[in-house]
Amino acid sequence: MTPERNERLTNVLVKRQPGLTVVLENVADPHNISAVMRTCDAVGIQDIYILNSKIENHKKWGAKSSSSAAKWLTVHQFTDAATCFAELRKRFDKIYTTHLSTDAVGLYELDLTQKVALVFGNEHSGCSDEIIGLADGNFIIPQVGIIKSLNISVACAVSVYEAFRQKTIAGHYESARLEPAHMAELRASWGFIEE
Amino acid at 76: H
Cβ–Cβ < 8 Å for 52, 78: yes
**Stated pTM of the model:** 0.92
- pLDDT at position 33: 93
CB 105 within 8 A of CB 137: yes
- Residue range 18-181 forms a domain whose CATH class is alpha beta
Confidence (pLDDT) at 170: 98
Give the pLDDT score at 101: 84
Q: Is the dihedral of CA 79, 101, 122, 155 positive or negative?
A: negative
Query: What is the reported pLDDT for 192?
Result: 78
Q: What is the pLDDT along the chain (195 residues), one digit of tens a residue?
A: 788 888 888 999 999 999 999 999 999 998 999 999 999 999 999 999 999 988 777 666 545 544 578 889 999 999 999 999 999 999 999 999 998 888 899 999 999 999 999 999 999 889 999 999 999 999 999 999 998 889 999 999 999 999 999 999 999 999 999 999 999 999 999 887 665
Sign, CA dihedral 177-178-184-189, equals negative
Beta strands in the chain (DSSP E): 20-25, 47-51, 74-78, 94-98, 105-106, 116-120, 137-140
Q: Where are the domains of the chain?
A: 18-181
3-state DSSP assignment of residue 126: strand
For residue 106, the cross-strand partners are: 140
